[in-house]
Amino acid sequence: MSAVAALWSTSIGKKAVMAVTGIVLVGFVILHLAGNLKIYLGAGAFDAYARGLRELGEPILAYGQALWTLRLILLAAVVLHIVAAVQLTLTSWAARPVAYTEKEAVAATYAARTMRWGGVILVLFVVYHILHFTLGAVGYAPGQFQEASAYRNVVNGFRVWYVSAFYIVAQAALGLHLYHGVWSMFQTLGVDARSNGVYRGLAVVVAVVVVVGNVSIPLAVLGGLVK
């Protein structure tokens, strides 16, 4: 068995895969937030950023090539993260076929207990989000979505209050998942137990910045600040 297969076959190996792919996903979420916040600089800046993503690496790379490479890396990270999570869950259920009679969690936080359901909600959110803002297949009147006008698409998309409400709820799920995920990642990667408080603090900062930043956008559209 190769070293990679041997690592994958163990629970700690799968946790390591979750931690490393988690770093890629957290990195994406932070960079995506930085891009999303350009909405406050106006249509010119936001659309230039969306165009820049496609022109990245030109003229050495072809139009869209760097973006597609990043998409494939992201997709691989998501798939590995989910497969490892499902396998770890199945192993844990198999080890405990009879449910606990006492189900009250003693030390686990709310965030820790909602990782699985939270993960499912996030997958559903991302599928909807791509259909919405990347493809314009849902959430718009016919002809309203314009591929070259990301700013208009975001404003028109978030003007529908229930779509905004869905995004806001999804950000809450993302915040909980990030908080517990970032903290678990440090645990798996073997941080010094004495610094536990620092890592929890770091996990809170990442989760709060991402949620507040992202939630501000639908609220700014509904409140008329971004129009």
In the complex, the residues that contact ligand HEM under the rule CB under 6 A are: 29, 32, 36, 50, 53, 71, 122, 126, 129-130, 133-134, 150, 154, 167, 174, 214, 217-218
The two tokens of residue 116 are 């699985």
Least Å distance between CB 47 and ligand HEM?
9
Closest by CA position to 176, among listed 103, 117, 105, 106? 117
Choice between 111 and 154, CB closer to ligand HEM: 154
Q: How far is the CB of 65 from ligand HEM (least distance, A)?
A: 13
Close Cβ partners of 196 (under 8 Å, ≥ 6 residues apart): none
**Residue (167 or 186) nearer to ligand HEM, CB:** 167
Task: Count other C-beta atoms under 10 Å from residue 182's C-beta.
Answer: 21
CB of 108 to ligand HEM, least distance (A): 23
Nearer to ligand HEM by C-beta: 198 or 223? 223
Query: Given the complex with ligand HEM, which of 84 and 217 has the nearer CB atom?
Result: 217
Q: Which is nearer to ligand HEM, 111 or 150 (CB)?
A: 150
For residue 156, the minimal CB distance to ligand HEM (Å) is 11
Query: Nearest distance from residue 218's CB to ligand HEM, in Å?
Result: 6
d(CA 94, CA 112): 20
Residue 192 to residues 15, 131, 179, 185, 199, Cα–Cα distance (Å): 18, 42, 18, 13, 10
